[in-house]
Amino acid sequence: MDCRRGGTDCSKGRLVDISAIEGQELTAVEFVGDYLRLRFDGPMLTLYAWPHILLADFSIAYGEPEYRNGLCAQIGEMVAKASLEELEALTVEFESGTVIALSLREEELDGPETGSYSADGSGMDEEDF
């Protein structure tokens, strides 16, 4: 069964839990070829689709002016809430109120891989979602 479409991490039979980044600082935003890495005090999110940046008055999508600046402006901000709802959305909300959001709905994605989460940031323990 395709893990994304089934809604679970098939190798472990559970959803990927990213709540460990709550209370942590975003320490780096890395643009790597055609994907994005968000590094926190330890954990790392790798995203193979470009998230939206939701600010108080407007949102910024990949390809729009200020996209890079909007993401990088979050460096140093603390994560207030983080959630991964399989087949729905990944959201990282900062204490400032800014949200980095990625739809995980199949019709809005270009490919089967959406991203991965590494609890220790090394990538050796990555869990795909």
Q: What is the pLDDT of residues 52-88, one digit of tens each?
A: 999 999 999 999 999 999 999 999 999 999 999 988 9
Domains identified in the chain, total number: 1
Q: Report yes or no on 56 lying in a domain.
A: yes
For residues 112 and 73, the model is more confident at: 73
Phi, psi of 69 (to 5 degrees): -65, -40
Q: Report yes or no on 96 lying in a domain.
A: yes
Residue 53 structural domain: 3-113
Q: Report yes or no on 73 lying in a domain.
A: yes
Q: Is the predicted pLDDT of residue 12 greater than 50, yes or no?
A: no
Q: Report yes or no on 104 lying in a domain.
A: yes
pLDDT at 13: 38
Q: Report yes or no on 85 lying in a domain.
A: yes
Write the CB contacts of 33 (distance below 8 Å, at least 6 apart in sequence). none
Question: At 7, is the pLDDT very low, low, confident or very high (cuts 50, 70, 90)?
Answer: very low
Question: At 9, is the pLDDT very low, low, confident or very high (cuts 50, 70, 90)?
Answer: very low
Q: Is the predicted pLDDT of residue 1 greater than 60, yes or no?
A: no
Q: Report yes or no on 17 lying in a domain.
A: yes
Q: Report yes or no on 53 lying in a domain.
A: yes
Q: Report yes or no on 64 lying in a domain.
A: yes
Kindly report the three-state secondary structure assignment for every residue of 53-108: EECCCCEECCCCCCHHHHHHCCCCCEEEEEEEECCCEEEEEECCCCEEEEECCHHH
Q: How is residue 123 written in tokens? A: 């990538």
Q: Is the predicted pLDDT of residue 11 greater than 70, yes or no?
A: no
Percentage above 70 pLDDT, the chain: 88
